[in-house]
């Protein structure tokens, strides 16, 4: 479809615009030039890419050093290798040292589908939430990604951005304005609210349409800003509904569902929560996106089925 | 330039003063200390801070200042003593080493202590970050030099060798890697735990320029560091030292990896460290 755009292309466009504006930005890759779709940047700025080879630890360490040396360092590689292989470099060199590094976790979730679990990143939000100061974002569509990345490149905070690996359609109206911390309310509804993360927000919107057709329009929220997160605003949204369903291409432990659970518990809300995602103890199946999401019940149809089963009979 | 620019005899005297501080610092610590690791590196740190580093306490925001990275973060006690001697923070702070919520915790924290450039403690982190700093300086056309001190046991961490590949590939001749080869680590002699010898050959094979010095001999340290050339290759200085150097009953003894002097030992050590 023509209105679909890959978030990595959006990222690269944001890089080009930032450097043209005068930002001293340096992408750092670990042989991940194709993963990051960095070619247009390289053509425009041939000497501005640092490629450290297949070596994620030194990729993150080097990025931290570049940042301490006054640069805006942006690592771009596959999320699973960033988050797991370079875990301690993220923890210490980026978070603890509070360096101006932007970590782009590309092809996150189960984007790599059939390549199986070595290439899946279904724990990245949980890992990053366990670290102190790092800001955590998961853009749901190209328009939001553009604004979110533009913001992140101009902030000095260590930042993790979870990037989906498939071309996505625009979800937000032209007037949309991303704000860090803000809970993105996509649909108002009744009885049930669907809370999505990243690309699964598209599934929740489609599920909402299916449910609306049957006379049960649910609310839809997107947690594009995991840290910071306006918990008061999130609680205020959640308490409008009797049921909450969280949806993420991530383990149900430590991600969006956990954040929602914390807010429900800490605010003493009476709403009940169903967490959809890769269930406790499991891995994502190795398959294409449609079958993977079907299997784990995080596709529009699966979400709608769960929502219907939770609706209180009239 | 360096604000002290001391001569070798002056540096030797300064090194003794640093060692006396290390003894007192560790003796006053409520949580032990890495006395042996603090002592082996004294000549290198003293030479850097009192002669070689183009850096000063009032230039910590200067983007062209030289950078020193303490990758062997557990040697922070010795590092603090050198920084205090050089005026980066008040000497009185040394009495708070490892006290609760002190500005001088048991590993370096740049947000707490003026002069610290990088939080370290987990090993194998200093070199990759030093590579990034050296790369940034190159790309900014800055005259900055970056020095990073590692232990020798630390070199079992693979991230060091990832960093070596990158440093050579990007021709970072503004980077000086110093190995404090004190030949002992937590569990015993490095050669027995995980042998890194022949260390110079390993660095050379990675494309780095290697020099060697006798790391507890100030003359050898200064001469070696001052003779380094910038020919497109990163420099490595393998500085062979004795863990616990300078105090007869600490030198070369593995139990002093994480032990501090007490009572009579303090008096004996300070006696050995008197200026003539």
> Two tokens at B238?
């393998």
B235 Cα distance to chain centroid: 16
Give backbone dihedrals phi and psi of B188, rounded to 5 degrees, phi first: 145, -160
Q: Which residues pair with B189 in a beta bridge?
A: B184
Smallest CA–CA distance, residue A63 to chain B, in Å, is: 6
Report CA-CA distances (Å) from B261 to A51, A75, B150, B264. 47, 45, 24, 8
SS (H, E, C) chain B: CCCCCCCHHHHHHHHHHHHHHHHHHHHCCECECCHHHHHHCHHHHHHHHHHHCCCCHHHCCCCCCCEEEECCHHHHHHHHHHHHHCCCCCHHHHHHCCCCCCCCCCCCCCCCCCCCCCCCCCCCCHHHHHHHHHHHHHHCCCCCCEEEEEECHHHHCHHHHHHHHHHHHCCCCCEEEEEEECCEECCEEHHHHCCCCCHHHHHHHCCCEEEEEECCCHHHHHHHHHCCCCCCCCEEEEEECCCCCCCCCCCCCHHHHHCCCCCHHHHHHHHHCCCC
**Is A84 an interface residue toward B (CB < 8 Å)?**
no
Give backbone dihedrals phi and psi of B45, rounded to 5 degrees, phi first: -65, -40
CA distance A307 to A301: 10
Q: CA nearest A146: which of A25, A42, A6, A23? A: A6
Element (H, E) at A185: strand A184-187
Best mutation site among B63, B117, B119, B128 for testing chain A: the one with the most A CBs within 10 Å? B128
**Is A233 an interface residue toward B (CB < 8 Å)?**
no
How crowded is residue B63: how many other Cβ atoms within 10 Å of its Cβ? 12
**Is B66 an interface residue toward A (CB < 8 Å)?**
no
**Is A68 an interface residue toward B (CB < 8 Å)?**
yes
CA distance B265 to B276: 20
Q: What is the pLDDT of residues B142-174, one digit of tens each?
A: 999 999 999 999 999 999 999 999 999 999 999
Q: Are B42 and B22 in contact (CB under 8 A)?
A: yes
B125 Cα distance to chain centroid: 14
Residue A76: CA atoms inside 13 Å, Cβ hemisphere, count? 30
Q: Which of A57, A65, A96 sits opposite B159 (nearest CB)?
A: A57
A92 chain-B contacts, CB cut-off 8 A: 119-122, 125
Q: Which of A58, A64, A73 sits opposite B166 (nearest CB)?
A: A58
A69 chain-B contacts, CB cut-off 8 A: 63, 132-133, 135-137, 140, 142, 144
**Is B139 an interface residue toward A (CB < 8 Å)?**
yes
Q: Are B151 and B72 in contact (CB under 8 A)?
A: yes
Please give the full DSSP string across A230-279, using - where no structure is assigned.
-HHHHHHHHTT-SEEEEEEEEESSSSHHHHHHHHHHHTT---EEEEEEEP
CA distance B262 to B276: 24
Q: Is the ipTM of this complex over 0.95?
A: yes
CA distance B260 to B247: 13
Element (H, E) at A77: strand A72-78
Q: Which residues pair with B185 in a beta bridge?
A: B188
Nearest residue in chain B measured CA to CA from A68 = B133
Burial B27-58 (b: 16+ CB within 10 A, else e): bbbeeebbbbbbbbbbbbbbbbbbbbbbbbee
Q: What is the dihedral of CA B6, B8, B13, B19, to 10 degrees?
A: 100
**Is A36 an interface residue toward B (CB < 8 Å)?**
no
Q: Are A74 and A152 in contact (CB under 8 A)?
A: no
- Hey, which residues 36-65 in chain B have their CB within 8 Å of chain A? 63
Task: List Cβ neighbours of A297 (8 Å cut-off, separation of 6 or more).
Answer: A276, A303, A305, A306
Instruction: Compute the radius of gyration of chain B from its Cα atoms.
Output: 17
Nearest residue in chain B measured CA to CA from A51 = B166
Q: What is the pLDDT of residue A312?
A: 63
Q: What is the pLDDT of residue A61?
A: 98
* Interchain pair B119, A67: CB under 8 A: no
Q: Are A10 and A149 in contact (CB under 8 A)?
A: yes
Low-confidence ranges of chain A (pLDDT < 70): 1-2, 312-314
Q: Are B26 and B33 in contact (CB under 8 A)?
A: yes
pLDDT (tens, 9 = 90+) of chain B, 276 residues, equals 999 999 999 999 999 999 999 999 999 999 999 999 999 999 999 999 999 999 999 999 999 999 999 999 999 999 999 999 999 999 999 999 999 999 999 999 999 999 999 999 999 999 999 999 999 999 999 999 999 999 999 999 999 999 999 999 999 999 999 999 999 999 999 999 999 999 999 999 999 999 999 999 999 999 999 999 999 999 999 999 999 999 999 999 988 988 999 999 999 999 999 998
Q: What is the pLDDT of residue A306?
A: 98
* Interchain pair A66, B110: CB under 8 A: no
Smallest CA–CA distance, residue A111 to chain B, in Å, is: 28
Q: What is the pLDDT of residue A2?
A: 56
Report how many helices (DSSP H) and strands (DSSP E) chain A contains, helices first: 12, 14
Q: What is the pLDDT of residue B258?
A: 87
Q: Judge residue A34's burial from the number of C-beta atoms within 10 Å of its C-beta, 0-12 exposed, 13-18 middle, 19 or more buried.
A: exposed
Q: What is the pLDDT of residues B228-275, one digit of tens each?
A: 999 999 999 999 999 999 999 999 998 898 899 999 999 999 999 999
At A171 the three-state DSSP class reads coil
**Torsion sign over Cα B155, B160, B162, B167:** negative
Best mutation site among A28, A59, A60, A69 for testing chain B: the one with the most B CBs within 10 Å? A69
Pairing label, strands A4-5, A168-169: antiparallel
Task: List Cβ neighbours of A177 (8 Å cut-off, separation of 6 or more).
Answer: A147
How crowded is residue A201: how many other Cβ atoms within 10 Å of its Cβ? 31
Q: What is the pLDDT of residue B254?
A: 86
């Amino acid at each position: 479809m023509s209105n679909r755009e890959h978030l990595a292309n959006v990222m690269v466009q944001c890089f080009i615009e930032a450097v043209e504006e005068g930002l001293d930005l340096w992408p750092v890759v670990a042989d991940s030039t194709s993963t990051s779709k960095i070619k247009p940047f390289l053509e425009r700025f041939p000497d501005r890419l640092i490629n450290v080879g297949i070596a994620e630890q030194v990729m993150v360490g080097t990025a931290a050093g570049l940042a301490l040396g006054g640069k805006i360092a942006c690592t771009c590689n596959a999320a699973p290798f960033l988050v797991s292989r370079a875990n301690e470099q993220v923890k210490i060199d980026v978070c603890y040292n509070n360096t101006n590094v932007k970590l782009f976790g590309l092809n996150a979730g189960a984007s790599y589908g059939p390549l199986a679990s070595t290439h899946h990143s279904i724990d990245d939000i949980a890992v990053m939430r366990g670290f102190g100061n790092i800001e955590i974002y998961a853009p749901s569509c190209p328009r939001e990604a553009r604004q979110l990345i533009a913001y992140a490149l101009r902030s000095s905070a260590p930042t993790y951005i979870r990037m989906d690996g498939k071309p996505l359609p625009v979800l937000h109206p032209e007037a949309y304005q991303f704000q860090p911390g803000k809970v993105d309310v996509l649909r108002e509804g009744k009885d049930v609210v669907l809370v999505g993360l990243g690309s699964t927000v598209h599934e929740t919107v489609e599920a909402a349409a299916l449910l609306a057709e049957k006379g049960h329009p649910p609310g839809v929220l997107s947690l594009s800003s995991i840290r910071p997160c306006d918990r008061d605003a999130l609680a205020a949204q959640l308490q409008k509904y009797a049921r909450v369903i969280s949806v993420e291409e991530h383990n149900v432990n430590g991600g969006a569902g956990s954040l929602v659970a914390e807010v429900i518990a800490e605010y003493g809300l009476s709403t009940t929560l169903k967490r959809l995602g890769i269930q406790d103890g499991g891995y994502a199946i190795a398959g294409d996106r449609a079958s993977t999401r079907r299997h784990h019940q995080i596709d529009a149809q699966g979400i709608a089925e769960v929502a219907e089963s939770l609706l209180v009979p009239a | 330039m360096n604000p002290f620019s001391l001569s070798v005899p002056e540096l030797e005297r300064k090194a003794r003063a640093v060692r006396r501080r290390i003894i007192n610092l560790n003796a006053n610590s409520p949580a032990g200390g890495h006395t042996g690791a603090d002592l082996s590196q004294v000549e290198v740190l003293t030479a850097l801070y009192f002669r070689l580093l183009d850096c000063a306490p009032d230039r910590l925001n200067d983007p062209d200042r030289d950078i020193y990275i303490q990758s062997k973060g557990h040697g922070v006690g010795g590092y603090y003593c050198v920084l205090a001697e050089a005026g980066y923070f008040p000497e009185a702070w040394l009495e708070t080493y490892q006290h609760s919520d002190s500005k001088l915790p048991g590993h370096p924290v740049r947000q707490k202590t003026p002069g610290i450039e990088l939080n370290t403690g987990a090993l194998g982190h200093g070199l990759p970050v030093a590579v990034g700093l050296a790369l940034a300086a190159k790309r900014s056309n800055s005259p900055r030099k970056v020095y990073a001190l590692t232990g020798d046991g630390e070199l079992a961490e693979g991230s060091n060798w990832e960093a070596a590949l990158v440093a050579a590939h990007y021709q970072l001749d503004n980077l000086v890697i110093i190995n404090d080869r004190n030949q002992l680590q937590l569990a015993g002699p490095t050669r027995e735990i995980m042998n890194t010898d022949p260390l110079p050959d390993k660095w050379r094979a990675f494309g780095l320029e290697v020099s060697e010095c006798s790391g507890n001999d100030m003359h050898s340290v200064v001469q070696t560091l001052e003779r380094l050339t910038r020919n497109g290759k990163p420099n490595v200085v393998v500085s062979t030292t004795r863990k616990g150097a300078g105090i007869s009953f600490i030198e070369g003894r593995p139990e002093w990896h994480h032990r501090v002097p007490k009572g009579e030992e303090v008096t004996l050590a300070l006696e050995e460290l008197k200026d003539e």
